[in-house]
Amino acid sequence: MQRISAWSDLVAPGGLFRYGSLALGVPPTPLAAEWLNMLQEELAHVVLNYLPALDKNDSTQLLKAIQTFGAAYAVKATTLAGYGILDAYTKPQTDSMLSAKANWGITLAAYGIGDAYTKAAVDALLVAVNDSLAAKQAAIDNLASTKQDKNTALMAANGWRLDKATGLLEQWGNGYCPPDTTTAPIDFPTPFAEVYNCFGNKINTNSVDGDGNAAGAFAVNETQFKLFNDTNLMGVTVHWRALGRAPGY
């Protein structure tokens, strides 16, 4: 597993993705195919470790794999009589119980257990194991819930980003506009429920154009916008941006 910084230098501190800034000339982090392939394989390995095959029609496979992992380590209600133990534990009996619960990162010395085991010491250890696994399961459940709430985005030259916590939808792109013209309506990459603002500008000014070099963008409705270019001597590429509320929020 690696962050996107292993494939690109155009990143924020800590190897995080950055949005970039047209005004400051800072490009956004490119979405590298190598990073996506690595992430895909990481997730596929998790699923295939617990499920028989990948299923493109099942969007809950990662959740099922995590739940299977948690169930495999859940503590079952076990009676001491099942281990032949009544009021006292022998060292071989306790070793047998603990060997079935290996790799938990718990040392016996931390519980005052050396070469001999008291019933109270082993009971304390088993309670600690129960608490530890319950905490791990809670962390797994929280991770699955957090992953489902992450923002979604289409990172492209004409793209969008949705903040699922607030419903704020941001869209951007660029397009050509001929001299002294307003374009026909252009579809947003994804529809808004409500457009707050839409604006744009051209990259380079023309010093010989006498009417102010004005160019930009404006929303026509929740699904379309237009580009305009008031320069009368040259066509321009207009970079635009729009903010609004996403459908369903």
Beta carbons within 10 angstroms of residue 218's beta carbon? 16
Span 155-163, mean pLDDT? 89
Nearest to residue 217, comparing CAs of 199, 237, 243? 199
226 CB neighbour count, 10 Å cutoff: 18
Question: What is the C-alpha separation between 233 and 247, in angstroms, rounded?
Answer: 40
Give the global pTM: 0.41
**For residue 183, pLDDT beyond 60:** yes
Looking at every residue in the chain, the average pLDDT score rounds to: 81
213-240 mean pLDDT = 90
Give the rounded distance of the alpha carbon of 81 from its chain centre. 47
pLDDT tens profile 114-141: 555 667 777 888 888 888 888 888 877 7
Confidence class for position 209, pLDDT limits 50, 70, 90? low
| Model confidence band, residue 75 (pLDDT cutoffs 50, 70, 90) | very low
pLDDT at residue 24 greater than cutoff 70:
yes
- 10-14, 126-130, 207-211: lowest mean pLDDT where? 207-211
- Structural domains present in the chain: 4-71 (no CATH), 73-144 (no CATH), 154-245 (2.60.40.3940)
Of 72 and 236, the one with more pLDDT = 236
Angle of helix 61-72 versus helix 33-50 axis, rounded to 10: 50
Instruction: Decide which of 153 and 210 is more confident.
Output: 153
pLDDT at 207 > cutoff 70: no
Paired with 159 in beta bridges are: 172
Q: Give me the pLDDT at residue 156, please.
A: 84
Tell me: the pLDDT tens digits for 36-70? 999 899 999 999 998 999 999 999 999 998 988 87
